Amino acid sequence: MKQLLSVVAVVLALGAGVLAHNGNDHVRGTVTAVSAQSVTVQLADKSSKTLSISAKTEFEASGKPGHLADVKVGDRVVIDVPEHGSNALLIKVGVAAAKK
Amino acid sequence: MTSGSRLVIAAVVGALVLAGGLTYFIARAAGFSTRTAPTAFERVVVRTIHRLSVPARARDAANPIAFSTDVWAESRAHFADHCASCHANDGSGDTAIGRNLFPRAPDMRLAATQDKTDGELYWIIENGIRLTGMPAWGNGGADDADTWKLVHFVRHLKELTPDQLKAMAAANPRSPSELQEEQDDAKFLAGENLPPAPEPHHHQ
């Protein structure tokens, strides 16, 4: 049973688009909603994750310091959050995802 | 043997038995796990022993390197590369390793570290501390310029700016998987489609 649970956990993690780095989790996805308080991203496995935005959240667009206004629905983002946490520490903004 | 001598011997034996009993009790209660922080008793004993272990001449040694912006920059880069894995870039000790060592990596911005002399800090970096996670980084000599520059770094921890901390984070050692992850992040942000992400490794 324990092994089965481990396998399930691994499978879930593989599809989640969440990685650990520098003591933080790393969330990769496409923005589906954004406000002054939170950003919601769709992950590779089509699941959604909502992370809170605070005054401490930093932004980076095209490798340079950015602002909340740089985050738009449809943009690809990589977000640093504390392990097991939901506060966005750093939001890196990339190109907009291609429309299907 | 005089009665005074017998009294001294009895007191010493009694103190040793008491210390041994206390050590046995602590070991039985908490095992040799590093999960719990050292008790106050352990902290006092170890700090006292360590303070006594630093030779007076070493403790009183003055930093032969003058502080400058170059020394500040060099020591930040050195610390980020060699020390931050345990001590954190800001010296807080708040890292996955530092939080779980026994004893914990200290918050070096606080008095327990800042009250030490430059010579004591140099001695610790150069010679390490037994039964802790602190290794000896030098050869035990008294003239390692890089170590003296790190002493300057410790003294100026509270002056670190957010930009300096960010630059240090970029200079922290990375595992092959972290490097791969950074490359994948860059590709993802540039519009490439990536294979499923690997399993994250979580620690306390």
The CATH number of residue A16's host domain is 2.40.50.320
Cα–Cα distances (Å) from B124 to B13, B121, B163, in that order, read 32, 5, 28
The answer to whether B202 contacts A83, with C-beta atoms less than 8 Å apart, is yes
Homologous superfamily, domain B58-174: Cytochrome c-like domain (1.10.760.10)
Domain range holding A59?
2-96
The count of domains in chain A is: 1
The answer to whether B200 contacts A13, with C-beta atoms less than 8 Å apart, is yes
Residues from chain A that touch B194, judged by Cβ atoms under 8 A, are 28, 44
Minimum distance, in Å, between the CA of residue B94 and any CA atom of chain A: 10
Per-residue model confidence as pLDDT tens digits over A6-57: 433 333 333 345 555 556 788 999 999 999 999 999 998 899 999 999 999 9
For chain B, say whether A93 makes contact (Cβ under 8 Å). yes
Contact A75, A67 (CB under 8 A): no
Contact B204, A57 (CB under 8 A): no
Per-residue model confidence as pLDDT tens digits over B7-57: 889 999 999 998 888 777 777 776 778 888 888 888 888 888 888 889 999
For chain B, say whether A16 makes contact (Cβ under 8 Å). yes
Residues from chain A that touch B84, judged by Cβ atoms under 8 A, are none
Question: What span, in angstroms and rounded, lies between the C-alpha atoms of B139 and B137?
Answer: 7
